[in-house]
């Protein structure tokens, strides 16, 4: 059996809004919305991977806050784990530098206005419950 590899997703929150990112690749995922993040590298903590991925993908300085309970299967061997996160004061605003072509800050009543990746829906539901976004 192959080892599972953790993909860390950031529930990046700012003023009660959640950041959603639209993937630009690969073709089977393009156009669908996800939590920004990526694969945890060998020897790296998920929290560190989250900070690194947000820097690379969005050009922001951020920190991981708390783990959202749960773990969601992606295409084998990947599993999705999610942390809430916040921007550091003075961080640049997020830009879709890599992997994404559009970003949206979703207010609580907008959380289901984007077409989340199917495999992200249970994770987003959990985030919504945790942070009081309307489910
Ligand atoms: N970041 C992220 N990836 C997700 C989510 N849902 C989901 O199925 N995925 C998939 C897409 C990719 O196949 C994989 C993560 O790959 P990635 O391309 O974001 O990660 P990465 O930056 O480390 O990738 P790489 O280009 O270095 O290989 O997990 C999600 O909410 N966030």
Give me the interface pTM, i.e. the ipTM.
0.92
- pLDDT, position 65: 98
Query: Could you give the percent of the chain with pLDDT greater than 90?
Result: 93
Question: 116 is in which domain, residue-wise?
Answer: 5-131
Ligand 1 pocket member 117 (CB < 6 A) = yes
pLDDT, mean of residues 35-47? 98
User: In terms of C-beta density within 10 A (0-12 exposed, 13-18 middle, 19 or more buried), how is residue 93 classed?
Assistant: exposed
Ligand 1 pocket member 7 (CB < 6 A) = yes
Residue 44 has pLDDT above 90, yes or no: yes
Round to whole Å and give the CA distance between 38 and 70.
17
- pLDDT, position 126: 97
Q: CATH number for the domain including 30? A: 3.90.79.10
Ligand 1 pocket member 57 (CB < 6 A) = no
Residue 1 has pLDDT above 80, yes or no: no
C-alpha distances in Å from residue 12, one per residue of 4, 31, 69, 76, 92: 24, 20, 16, 25, 14
Q: What is the mean pLDDT of the chain?
A: 95
State in Å: Cα 64 to ligand 1 middle: 17
Pair of tokens at residue 12: 């990046």
- pLDDT, position 130: 86
- pLDDT, position 135: 47
Pair of tokens at residue 27: 């073709």
Cα-based angle 9, 59, 22 (whole degrees, multiple of 5): 50
For a mutational test of ligand 1's pocket, the pick from 10, 29, 38, i.e. the residue with the most ligand atoms closer than 8 A to its C-beta, is: 38
- pLDDT category, 132, cuts 50, 70, 90? confident
Task: Say how many domains are in the chain.
Answer: 1
What would you report as the CA-atom Rg of the chain, rounded to the nearest whole angstrom? 14
State in Å: Cα 88 to ligand 1 middle: 23
The reply to whether the predicted model has a pTM over 0.90 is: yes
């Amino acid at each position: 059996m192959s080892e599972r590899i953790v993909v860390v997703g950031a529930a990046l929150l700012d003023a009660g809004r959640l950041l959603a990112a639209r993937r630009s690749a690969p073709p089977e995922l393009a156009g669908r919305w996800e939590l920004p993040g990526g694969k945890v590298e060998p020897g790296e903590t998920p929290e560190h991977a989250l900070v690194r991925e947000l820097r690379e993908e969005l050009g922001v300085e951020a920190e991981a806050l708390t783990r959202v309970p749960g773990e969601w299967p992606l295409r084998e061997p990947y599993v999705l784990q999610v942390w809430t996160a916040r921007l550091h004061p003075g961080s640049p605003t997020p830009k879709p530098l890599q992997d994404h072509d559009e970003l949206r800050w979703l207010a609580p009543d907008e959380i289901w206005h984007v077409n989340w990746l199917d495999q992200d829906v249970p994770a987003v539901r959990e985030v919504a419950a945790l942070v009081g976004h309307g489910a």
